[in-house]
Amino acid sequence: MMDVDYELLAERYKRPKHKKKLKGAFTGEASNSPCGDNIKIYISVGAEGKIRDAAHDGHSCALATVSADMLCDYAIGKRLGDVCNVDFEKMVRMLGFTPSIGRAGCVRVSLDAFHDACRTAMRTGKRRKTK
């Protein structure tokens, strides 16, 4: 297991690539109750079912913020159905280290928000198709 590189984490935390609000996008949200963190994920899907853009916003620590940022990176350009199942293990590979038990929640809050946004997108997509 690699140690956390705080310098790298701090760098991306200060300059996230996708921290913004996306108007008209599908949204998902999650909170990490012990620390009061809250993350919102935005996913905007193109006509052909591909994710056109993704973003995140909220109050969160470096680990949660960077996780959200990496999830957005990962999702953009892929099909919704292909990214919805991203799990903790995949997230750990993206981060390059396994968070300690006390900090796993920081990663999970972003994953939860991401999954929530995916579900919203899927649900709405289906409704549109059956119309």
Partner 1 sequence: MVDYKKDFPILERFHYLDSAATSLKPIQVIEAEMEYYKEYPANVHRGVYKLSERATEMFERTRDSTARMFGAKSREVIFTRNTTESLNLLAATLGNSVLRKGDTVLLTAMEHHSNIVPWLMLKERVGIRVEFVELEGQSLDYEDFKAKVGKYNPKVVSFMHASNVLGTINDAAKIIKLAKRSGAITIMDCAQSAPHIKVDFSRLGVDYIAFSAHKLLGPTGVGVLIGKESQLEELPPFMGGGSMIREVSRQGFKPAELPQKFEAGTPNIAGVIGFGAALDYIKKVGFGKIESVEKGLLAYILKRARELGYIKVYSSQDVGNAVGIFAFNVDGVHPHDVSALLDEANVCIRAGHHCAQPLHSQLGINYTARASLYFYNTKEDVDALFCGLENVKKVFNA
Q: Between 106 and 111, whose beta carbon lies closer to partner 1?
A: 106
Q: Between 92 and 122, whose beta carbon lies closer to partner 1?
A: 92
Q: How far does Cα 90 stand from its chain's mean position?
A: 12
Q: Which of 30, 57, 60, 113 binds partner 1 (CB under 8 A)?
A: 60
12 binding partner 1? (CB under 8 A):
no
Angle at CA 27, nearest 5°, toward 11 and 47? 105
26 binding partner 1? (CB under 8 A):
no
Q: Between 37 and 76, whose beta carbon lies closer to partner 1?
A: 37
Longest alpha-carbon distance in the chain: 51
Q: Between 97 and 125, whose beta carbon lies closer to partner 1?
A: 97
59 binding partner 1? (CB under 8 A):
yes
E runs forming strands in the chain: 26-32, 37-45, 51-59
Q: Please say whether the beta carbons of 41 and 21 come within 8 A.
A: no
Strand (E) or helix (H) holding 67? helix 62-75
91 binding partner 1? (CB under 8 A):
no
Which residues bind to partner 1, rule: CB under 8 A? 4, 6-7, 9-10, 13-14, 34-38, 59-64, 103, 106
